[in-house]
Structure 1
Amino acid sequence: MFGRGLYYDFQDDYDYDYDESDGDHNYESDDSYTSSRLLGKSIEEASFHIEEGPFRIKNHVQGPKLLAELASQRQNGEFLDVVVEVEGIEFPCHRAVLASTPYFKTMLSSNFAESSSNVVHLHETDSSSFSKILEFLYTGEISISKDDVQDVLQTAHMLQFDKILQYCQKFIQDNLCPNNCLGVLRLADMYGDLSDLKKSARTMAVSNFSEATQDEEFLSLSLEDLLDLLRDDDLTATTEDDVVNSVIRWLNHAPENRQTAILKILPEIRLSCVKVSLLRKLESHPAIRDSAECLAKITAAIERHTLGTQVQEEEARSGVSDKLAIIVGGWKAVNKPHLHNNDESEPLSVQPSPGPLQSMICLDPDKEQYYHIANLPTSVNGYMSVASAEGYLYVTGGRENPLVDGEGPKPAPSKQAFRYHFPSDTWLRLPVDMPVGRAGHQSVVVDGKLFLVGGGSDGDAEATSLVTMDCYDPKEGAWIKVPLRPTIHTSSDLTVTAFGDKVVFITVTPTESDGLFNLCVHSFDVKTNGWRKADTRFGNAWAQTPDVFLPTSANHKLYIRAVYTSAAHYSEQYIFDDEEETLNRDDTHYFEDDFLRAQREYHYIFITNGQEIVDTISNYASGNNYYPKKRAPLPFALFGQSFLETQKSCVGWYCRDLAVLEEEDEQERLDEA
């Protein structure tokens, strides 16, 4: 009867496994199985089979029961045969339990003195960490905190306890942040088997460099580790100034050992994106003064900033933009810009106030902060136009007072034109006034010449119906009236932009037959005085014109984005090919290369409340549809302002340390007055 095996199939409590090599049958319960369940089974509940081979049952409870018994014996001081001494503290335990780890199994073997000793001494080990690891050996549980995870990891590494190493690595990974990533990076370097943790810590440091370098661990980085971070193309810093300040702190931490390190570090700094004031600080650093090569590079960078010369081959770091939004003049309106209705698309209503801004302000997208640039040198307060070129800003025309609804004369547009030098903070009134007064016009600089379009004098009958253009040549010091070959009526929706050596006019006019619109692009070649034209029909389900056109030039083509901000930020893209004289809709919304995507990364438009009063400036990103990536509330609501989107490197941004424009509560100020 013993030649046949018994097979008990306890429904879902056992897994049946047949080993064909020896005929053994293994009956294994799942993890939820307990002996009480097995004993509670009646013979009627079991399926009875007779099979060939021996009867084998694997009890999953026996192992935990044995471990619990050993833990109980350790707690009660029973059958303990060895003592581990750590930092003068004794830990009685079972030799067999210790030998379950590779480290102690080797130590307690017959080849070592500890094999015959009742006391094992551990050196350079933390007693608290060893206590936790010993507890894990007996119970399978361990408690790890931020305060002791490094000690536990070090002890587990010495004892070759891979499982606890994994737990520590997981704990550190889950608590990784910019404030501790450099410390984690150094910790992972100490242990060669933490490569995944090292990779995560380095990625965190590269992605949050400005914040990560505030940790004291940064000062202890080796030169090789610092260069490894600075050379990473994905390194993201709030500004390049943060990189320079971090480098200066690192140099000053051990000046006697790091004096020559600047020779390797300086080539990794984007000097074209560093403020002149910080460059001068770097210029006076002992490590720089001792190197003629480094000193020459910094002096050249300061000169480029002053002249407004870009370094084409040197790009800003990831997360740092060369874009700059400039707002000129206008009148403040009563508003609390930080308050909005539940529906963010409907800002709180605002009311005009008589207070003029009388200054230029700008928005730095890197810090999302507004700054005061300069006060206006004229009594004209709004409806001006602003353009930039070679470190200069041209501010032209405008009106002294806001337009008033109803009857009565309108304030006459100004003929004044000014040139502002950003690096030196100086104004120059152009020696010759504009041929006609202009207000609400547009301006661009092409081939060094200033072009003014639209916004003619209210008293000029021709200017009230047709758009005109004037040109100022700084070399000649004179204004030139340039006849517009295309007839553009003032009723047209007009956008003017620079495109290489050309002034481009983008117009939208309704068609009379089908209710659609005609999008037309005229380009004027400044050097040849030649004109090119292309147009196309367009329309949409909302039967309205776009709220704004955002043109971008790349690959010898002009990409025109038509944005409908009032229609869930829907947008369309058109491509103007000047050479082929074609204008086609781009249904693919595909940007041809990385350069184009980089060029289109930032576009700014004002968000109005329907009364041409703005209290928010939004950054619109490229993609299948335009949408606001960031909404930066203005320090005060405005109307009648002019706006320019330009580049920091072109206007001398890095030459000035500007004062932050603090948020104002206009209503409280008026109430106090």
Structure 2
Amino acid sequence: MEFTMRLRKIPSRTKTDEILATSNKSSKKRKKNSSFVCRRCCSAFQMSVFDFPPVWSELRKKSQLCDGLVRCEDGTEFKIHRAILAAVSPYFKALFTNSINRDQKEANEARISIPADIFQTLLDYAYTGSCGVTKTNVKDLLKYADQYQILDVVQLCCNFLMTELSPANCLEILKFASQYFCKELIDKGKLYIRHNFSRLLKDSYEFYNIPAHHLEEILQDDELNIKSEETVLDAVKIWISYSPVKRKIHLFNLIKCIRLGTLTYDSVAEISKWPLIIENPECKEYLQDVLAVLGGLNQDDDVDIVHDYMFRPRIPFSVVFAIGGWSAGSPTNFMETYDSRADKWLFSCDTDSSPRAYHGLCNLNGIIYMIGGFDGNEYFNTMKCFDPVQHKWSERSCMYYPRCYVSVVVHRGKIYAMGGYNGRTRMNSAEKYDPERNQWELIPSMQKQRSDASAATVQDKIYIVGGFNGQEVMNSTEVYDTTTRQWSFISQMTSARSGVSLVSFNNTLYAIGGFNGYTRLASGEKYTPDVSDGWSPIADMLTPRSNFATVLLDDYIFVIGGFNDRFVSGSTTINYVEYYDAESNEWYDAASMNVSRSALSACVVHGLPNVKEYTFLRTGISSLGPEADGGNKG
């Protein structure tokens, strides 16, 4: 992979640069009367603009007007223009002008200890404003660009390394960035490590050699993206076990990084049996104190989990937004967010002004889009979007048709809205939205009319299942090929389902719940395109439901709220939440929403810079590390 970028340069006011300024002025004069375009570049380091006229490359190529020579460590010689090289590098400017020894005349030759191919790339930048940065040259290029003070190339290298971050190399890149004080790359590297820590443990060989204080800093971070504190324990075990004799002196400080109060009593008891902990008096006593605290807690006991480090949950990388729905006999505009690390639902004050239900909801590039729906009187063709960073709602282009009970998916940067009910008829029409143009476009209609269906994507195809056509609940399934723009039927589901939810996970479709014309369903079934012969059953949900919201979070399928007709007393809308583990084929309870509602929609937003504002820790934290909190509160 090659990364090319243009950066801005600041011309200084020396005699050398007056020559450059004159060259620039003449270039600009010629620009009015000729068709050539100067190369322009921009950088985070500078604020002004500097041009790279094509004539510079021409002079370099033909070795014309050269007034300097640079000899590399292998003897390779480069004829150069001293003024041009001095413009990009304060080092060469001082060298050629002899500004250090002013009594000496200006130099026109330089010997440098730099590989010829690297210097060739630096010259590419000096003459054109761009250079090729690749995986093979980026480290040497950054090293020598830093040594010879060509800061724009340093920035180019940092930008390239940001695009190359992976679980396998992020620790190595962070270490490398720290050597050259590349702040932006350091910050991006630390953020990447926090967000991808579980994958890093599996893929990074550098983890075994990370210094103890760096490991402590990572493990204490509130934004460490882990499902459970057991991942932190695994990290401690992996690092200590690599060299136990030398590293066991750090065990106590590392064990204190684990937020043991978020684990069960049995889990902590199992940790206390680790031989290295038993051998360490400090660790052994600490675990005993934690067990005493956990063993003495009652269900109704109040624990300050915001400020007590041992009990404080991490800040999640991903947040669920559940918006609208039908509650207490009317549509609502409630917005709740789910903090998966604290397992709590929180009300948000960022509600839209108009209640609606049976709408579509999706996240595209960090913006939440709410599409169509019904407010008890009107069927909407409108679309609103919510910016969770700015806490702001705004209007977007309207669809061609009103759609309530609409099926919505995101595919390759476009939003697709299919079927639904317009107040008169169930629809088979479909349309897609381009956010860059803020326009809807009709696409070929489905083969069947469907409202209250559900859709999901696998690879380049969009699948839609079930629904109601005005006469019957359906079990048919259609697929839309976005390349050929054609709809076709695939294997039918084993059960008819309206108010169903379809989710795509690991290239497999999961159709869950719904209404079969007689009762709400707890059942679900799955289908893997191009692999399965048909749909096969999965474990039943704990609670039958239809018209509920579904999201994929932490590799689990969450089902949220919905309608249940088995409750003989009170409202039939529910607030129950549960999640499905596809690996174990089991359902588990999660915290319930604050409001019972059906016909709601939900989506997940990842990596918000202000994610804490939507989590349980939004009340604020006065201190971060276990030492600042006074260690174990037991």
> TM-score scaled to structure 1, two decimals?
0.41
Return the structure number with greater strand share.
1
Larger radius of gyration: 1
